[in-house]
Amino acid sequence: MKKLLKGGHVVDPRSGIDGPCDVLIEDGRIARIGRDIPVDGATIVEIPSGLVVCPGFIDMHVHLREPGQEHKETVATGTAAAAAGGFTAVACMPNTTPVNDNANVTTLILAKAAEANLARVYPIGAVSKGSKGELLADISELRQAGCVAISDDGHPVATALLMRRALEYAGMFDMPLIEHCEDPTLKGDGVAHEGFQASLLGLRGIPGAAEALGVERGVLLAELTGSHLHIAHMSARASIRAVRKGKEAGVRVTCEVAPHHFTLTDVALGSPIAYDTNTKMNPPLREAADRDAMIAGLVDGTVDAIATDHAPHHYDEKQVEFDRAPFGIVGLETAIPLTLDRLLHSGLLRLPRIVELLSTNPARILKVPGGALAEGDPADITILAPDLKVRVDARSFRSRSKNTPFDGWELRGGVAATIVGGRTVFTNADAGLQTI
């Protein structure tokens, strides 16, 4: 089976390609990249001008909710959402029920992913048993079962000592520890960013310092252990400052930002609909100076990855008072339009940097295949339609949950097709691409 993607604009930062190129796919792998590749019996797929062929995007922070919370999402619906959102792979957090703290759960997730056969799934194992922050999980067992990183996401690692041990243990396998940074004593029972908007709405606040304290602790422990720490979903300007300082000092620290944190501020909590629970997430939407600091980090290279923190919740769970609603929004099917609209078309980032944030760097951080269009690699490819007009329609999401603050938004830029291992798992009829 040979397929020739002909006439596309290829962007691959790792090989330095940013221009017209053909891509030949053979037996699920990239056989050749170059100008005017001879057809030689391959099925030709003409890429209309304006579309961009990239290495497959990897969302390194999603919650697939299976096992245990299948009313919110399953591995099948989550990977369908990933494919429709332009992601060829996702890494899923361990806060399922039961928690992914042993090989049985990891194996179950991988079996479900193989059955769904859409986007690739890389499980993340728990740092501690049950993510309870008491005993370390068997990280070597998790590694052998297929976990690519460890995290107690949803919460920070409970104590500095446990985190130190986890970093040392994960370091033996050169796996990153992904930290949900938060000082629980400072966060308290806060539900929104501490500031003008929270005061106006009468909501209990969470200061940016609650997150930055966690980042500072993590950077210090990464320095102490020499292990790789990855900071999840950064939102506060003091967090970026701490990461920048750590990087300058040579600490092995990387970090990610979610599209909602470079798009929205806490003003969204009051308008257009006040107390919309789809604006409630943890870390919370912060003030403009924090949002701008995230953008500055994306521009200057401090931020390594864009990750969605895709957090599906059932309609009923979000249809309650703001105080009582669970934190989180879905992100897989809005991430690319938001990124292209807010970062590319605003002139802040160029396409190679965007591909680096969504593909090259996540693959490097998790040490998984992909992240480049290299000959011999699995043909995981995302085709973008940067000028496509997209209207977000939550009802049409593949995800089982629809909890998004972006419903009805009109954005410029979308996904044309998603190819995993040479097989097309999603084609967008609006993007002018023939069925591939």
CA–CA separation, 118 and 113 (whole Å): 7
Collapsed DSSP state (helix, strand, coil) of residue 272? coil
Residue selected from 153, 183, 256, 317 as contacting Zn ion according to rule CB under 5 A: 153
Residue 233 beta carbon to Zn ion: minimum distance, rounded to whole angstroms: 6
DSSP codes joined into one string, 178-208: EE----HHHHTT--EETTHHHHHHT--EE-H
Q: Which is nearer to Zn ion, 22 or 153 (CB)?
A: 153
Helices 237-248 and 288-300, axial angle in degrees (round to 10): 30
Residue selected from 120, 180, 244, 291 as contacting Zn ion according to rule CB under 5 A: 180
Residue 255 beta carbon to Zn ion: minimum distance, rounded to whole angstroms: 13
Which residues does 20 contact at the CB level (< 8 Å), separation at least 6?
7, 8, 9, 10, 35
Q: Which is nearer to Zn ion, 153 or 380 (CB)?
A: 153
Residue 172 beta carbon to Zn ion: minimum distance, rounded to whole angstroms: 25
Number of residues in the chain: 436
Q: Which is nearer to Zn ion, 180 or 260 (CB)?
A: 180
Q: Which is nearer to Zn ion, 180 or 252 (CB)?
A: 180
Q: Interacting stretch for Zn ion, rule CB under 5 A, among 140-148, 151-159, 171-179, 333-341?
A: 151-159
Q: Interacting stretch for Zn ion, rule CB under 5 A, among 172-180, 187-195, 264-272, 320-328?
A: 172-180
Which residues does 104 contact at the CB level (< 8 Å), separation at least 6?
none
CA–CA separation, 357 and 317 (whole Å): 32
Q: Per the structure block, which two tokens stand in for 86? A: 């332009």
Residue nearest Zn ion, CB atom distance: 180
CB burial class (10 A; 0-12, 13-18, 19+) of residue 163?
buried
Indicate which residue of 101, 152, 290, 309 is catalytic.
Answer: 309
Q: Interacting stretch for Zn ion, rule CB under 5 A, among 49-57, 153-161, 197-205, 342-350?
A: 153-161
Which residues does 301 contact at the CB level (< 8 Å), separation at least 6?
none
Q: Which is nearer to Zn ion, 62 or 147 (CB)?
A: 62
Q: Which is nearer to Zn ion, 120 or 180 (CB)?
A: 180
Task: Note if 309 is an active site residue.
Answer: yes
Residue 293 beta carbon to Zn ion: minimum distance, rounded to whole angstroms: 19
By CB under 5 A, residue 310 contacts Zn ion: no
Residue 105 beta carbon to Zn ion: minimum distance, rounded to whole angstroms: 19
**CA-only gyration radius of the chain, Å:** 21
253-257 and 229-231: which strand pairing?
Answer: parallel
Q: Interacting stretch for Zn ion, rule CB under 5 A, among 42-50, 64-72, 173-181, 201-209?
A: 173-181
Residue 62 beta carbon to Zn ion: minimum distance, rounded to whole angstroms: 11
Contacting positions for Zn ion (CB under 5 A): 153, 180
Which residues are catalytically annotated?
A: 309
